[in-house]
Structure 1
Amino acid sequence: MLQTLTKTTRIAAALLITALMFFPIYWMLITAFKTPAELRLAVPTFWPEKLMWENFLDAFDTIPFYRFTVNTVVQTVGIVVLQINIGIMAAYAFAKGSFAGRDKWFLIVLAALIVPEQVIFVPVYVMMSKLHWINTYYALIIPHAASAYGIFLLRQTFRSINNDVIEAAKVDGANRMQVLYQILTPMAFPTVATMIVISFIHSWNSYFWPLIMTNSNQMRVLTVGIAMMRDSIAGNEALNMHLLMAASVVVIVPIVIVFVFAQKYIVAAMASSTFK
């Protein structure tokens, strides 16, 4: 009886916590479908009186939505591809390589995790300016070409793979890149998939860096575009909140889809990423 009560209490607590966490997302979703008149009601409604799909079209017309989407996709794909490939090669070197100061260099890589980008953006901005990369895809992508966290995750996974697998592949005539991409990477697929998801979410949601590195609508991304939309209606948020929420819903949909399909790989990778 006591065990049943304890289990029921835990389930109820878990459901309550889940509801509290997802309520802001739910509120954003229903707000995206409401009319301005419904938003001004003294008593808020928990479901739209009428689903206003036109809100999404109006949001697209408020800012250069399609151009911002293209920029966001290019930025995200570029960063993900570079971070995964650089992470795989660096992790292989730190896990299976043998060179002077290997572990010390790895600690320096880990130290990069505690340095926020706001601290280093001035020297990087100066560098991008001298290279004439401001307001280009290079400035959006290259500074984030490597991920210290990704190198850490992959390094831990590669260390758990027996060296006999590598030696057997070399005996069969595989070179180093074939061992890395045809043997080790498939064996570390949960970690690689996790890195893709983390890199995708971080790049898709990036706001500070694109804001600093771009100065025209031709190169803005979606996060900056939504901020521009908010600023353009400053003082009238109550009348246009449905447009802001509609744009926000469109932006988070790709993240939700990617996370739903990759969540099992994230759990598997996190379970195997402890220090060895």
Structure 2
Amino acid sequence: MRDSRMAGEKQHRLRFTLRTMLGVAVTVLIFFPIYWLLISSFKTQAEMRLAVPTLWPKSFHWSNYAEAFRVIPYARFFMNTLVMSVGIVILQLNVALMAAFAFAKGRFWGKEVLFFLVLAALIVPDQVTFVPVYVMMSKVHWLDTFWALIVPSGASAYGIFLLRQAFKSLNNDVLEAARVDGAGRFTILYRILLPMAKPTVVTLGVLTFISSWNSYFWPLIMTNTNNMRVLSVGIAMLRDSIAGDEAMYFHIIMAASVMAIIPIVLVFTIMQKHIVSAMANSTFK
């Protein structure tokens, strides 16, 4: 009996050790690119060109970050990205809220068919629709404006699905009581359903913000001047902006990239508990 118990404890310790080693290996594998990005942002051009890479900078050069502002209009790109991301979040949340409310609590003919069509939009990539949308933006003279950066992203099939699942899980008795008290649709949506589905709404806002902040393809084709460029496009331009150097100034590109990811890291870190809560309740019903 004692030998059996000792064997069981040994197996338990072995499994725990293996899980720990696997967890450490996966963590290192995931975070090493981020670590490399961060330390490279402090290196010199000569150190970046070494045949044997260094895992720690020989000296920290904070001037790389200032250089990124000198080479490209970084502050302008940052503000453009912020305006675009916040605008998309506000528009997309409101559209998703109203559509999800209709699909979850509304009663109308063809509701399930229409919702299926919304889900079908999830499999359509942006590259398929960008030509007709580009023509539309050109016809209304919105190219190289914030309208072209924000409006085409105003509806999200995934956002509608996520909020619909959250609304369907809410009790209809509360809505009926609100209707009896004379509340209209918008009152019910924004004063009752929205607070009750706060984790899901916050999650959608965070995911939309991160996606918009990292967007590259759409801003690239919709903007033509530096006045409207965003960070993702601006950082890609660094390759051609520094005197045509063939080796490229990777340390400056790294510094610009570090500054670009700080806002989304902060947003995700602060709001991660809402994301976990919402994802746990987003099963298809």
Q: Structure 2 CA distance, aligned partners of 1:170 and 1:5?
A: 60
Tell me, in whole angstroms, the C-alpha distance in 2 between the residues paired with 1:13 and 1:234.
Answer: 45
Looking at structure 2, the residues matched to 234 and 19 of structure 1 have their Cα atoms a distance apart, in angstroms, of 36
- Indicate the residue corresponding to 1:109 in structure 2: 118
1:232, distance to aligned residue in structure 2 (A):
2.9
Partner of residue 45, structure 2: 36
Partner in structure 2 of residue 127 of structure 1: 136
Is residue 182 from structure 1 mapped to residue 191 from structure 2 by the alignment?
Answer: yes
What is the total number of aligned residue pairs between the two structures?
276
CA distance in 2, matches of 1:268, 1:228: 39
Deviation (angstroms), 1:61: 0.8
The CA RMSD over aligned residues, in Å, is: 1.3
Which digits, 9 at most, give the CA deviation of each residue in 1:51-79, with x for residues without a partner? 11110000111111111111111110110
Cα deviation for residue 175 of structure 1 reads 2.0
Give unpaired runs (5+ residues) of structure 2: 1-8
Match in the other structure for 1:66: 75
Name whichever of 40-49 and 152-161 sits farther off.
Answer: 40-49
Whole-angstrom distance in 2 between the partners of 1:153 and 1:70: 29
Contact 2:96 2:160 (8 Å CA) reproduced = yes
| CA positional deviation for 1:173 | 3.1
The question of whether the paired residues in 2 share the 8 Å contact of 1:156 and 1:275 is answered with yes
TM-score (norm 2): 0.94
Q: Report sequence identity in percent.
A: 63
Judging changes above 3 Å, is the alpha-carbon distance between structure 1 residues 172 and 237 closer, same or farther for their aligned structure 2 residues? farther
- Give the corresponding residue for 1:218: 227
Q: Deviations over 1:144-176 (max 9, x none)?
A: 001110000000010000101111222233222
Q: Which residue in the other structure is 2:170 paired with?
A: 161
Q: Quick one: distance in 1 between partners of 2:184 and 2:246?
A: 60
Q: Which amino acid aligns with 2:210?
A: I
- Per-residue CA shift, 1:98-125, capped at 9, x if unaligned? 0110010001111111001111111110
Q: 2:109 aligns with which of 78, 96, 100?
A: 100
Report what 1:52 is aligned to. 61
Residue in 1 that maps onto 2:3: none
TM-score (norm 1): 0.97
* Higher Cα Rg, which structure: 2
Contact 1:154 1:192 in 2 (8 A): yes
Equivalent position of 1:193 in the other structure: 202
Residues 72 and 241, structure 2, Cα contact 8 Å, conserved in 1: no
Of 168-177 and 51-60, deviating more is 168-177
Q: Following TM superposition, by how much is the alpha carbon of 1:263 offset from its aligned partner in structure 2, in angstroms? A: 1.2
Q: Which residue of structure 2 lines up, in the alignment, with residue 262 of structure 1?
A: 271
Q: Which runs of 4+ in 1 moved over 6 A?
A: none
Contact 1:33 1:51 in 2 (8 A): yes
Question: Which shifted more, 144-153 or 261-270?
Answer: 261-270
Equivalent residue of 2:239, what SS? helix
